[in-house]
Amino acid sequence: MEKGGEAGGGRPEYSIIVPTYNERLNVALIVYLIFKHLPDAKFEIIIVDDGSPDGTQDIVKQLQQVYGEDRVLLRARPRKLGLGTAYMHGLKHASGEFVVIMDADLSHHPKYLPSFIRGANVLAQTLLRPGASDLTGSFRLYKRSVLEDVISSCVSKGYVFQMEMIVRATRKGYHIEEVPITFVDRVFGISKLGGSEIVGYLKGLVYLLLTT
């Protein structure tokens, strides 16, 4: 494979934040597919890894040798600190005008990224998300300024964070457009949504109902 240089010259227009935890088997494929489906876009991929013990960071460092450290950024954290704070951490290091957030497990296929970008360019909307009824989905494109505003008002840290961002964006009057996608189960690894995460999600849902 060649380093993805030409399209990435200058400041990236899109920052793609991908939180990871034990995604060694998926992270190389997701990065490859992002480059494959965005051959002409100026983008950077920001991997926010929460101290994965499976060698995820070693794979990311190898990907940096292939694609360049300016295209694949590793912004690791010492331990698992939650999905919401992972987005905040990634946003601190993002350079693009638009920010995409997506999972590393390939449940969100990068082939849909061009549709997100077309929406951002043609409709100039502030936020894109797939599925009208999917408030918890984590495949979205935000205008950077909007994401900074919305994320600063969120208090959730776990999986309910996705829902809170949509609720807060709606309350603030931001425009939302939808891009249809097909969601698939993760390719490798096991789901991280365990019992404690489900309990936390339900508590967060009750909080949103009471405070927004």
pLDDT tens figures, 54-103:
999 999 999 999 999 999 999 999 998 888 889 899 999 999 999 999 98
> Is 13's pLDDT higher than 70?
yes
In a domain, 14, yes or no: yes
In a domain, 111, yes or no: yes
* % of the chain with per-residue pLDDT over 70: 68
In a domain, 96, yes or no: yes
DSSP, residue by residue, 124-137: --SEEES-TT-TT-
Model confidence at 180, pLDDT cuts 50, 70, 90, reads: low
**The two structure tokens encoding residue 96:** 């693009």
Phi, psi of 56 (to 5 degrees): -55, -45
Could you tell me if 86 and 77 are in contact, meaning their C-beta atoms sit under 8 angstroms apart? yes
**b/e per residue 120-146 (b: at least 16 CB within 10 A):** beeeebbbbbbeeebbebbbbbbbbeb
pLDDT digits (tens, 9 = 90+) for 99-157: 999 988 888 789 989 988 877 654 434 455 444 444 545 688 888 998 899 888 877 66
pTM summary value? 0.73
In a domain, 191, yes or no: yes
The count of structural domains within the chain is 1
**The two structure tokens encoding residue 130:** 């797939």
β-pairing, 140-143 vs 127-129, is antiparallel
Query: Which CATH number characterizes residue 118's domain?
Result: 3.90.550.10
Could you tell me if 17 and 48 are in contact, meaning their C-beta atoms sit under 8 angstroms apart? yes
Residue 120 CA to residue 24 CA, distance in Å, equals 31
In a domain, 1, yes or no: no
Residue given tokens 């600063």 in the structure block: 152
In a domain, 128, yes or no: yes
Residue 49, SS3? strand
For residue 175, the enclosing domain spans 6-211
In a domain, 106, yes or no: yes
Q: What is the dihedral of CA 169, 171, 175, 179, to 10 degrees?
A: 60
Residue 101 CA to residue 18 CA, distance in Å, equals 6
* pLDDT score for 168: 81
In a domain, 15, yes or no: yes
The overall average pLDDT reported for the chain is 78
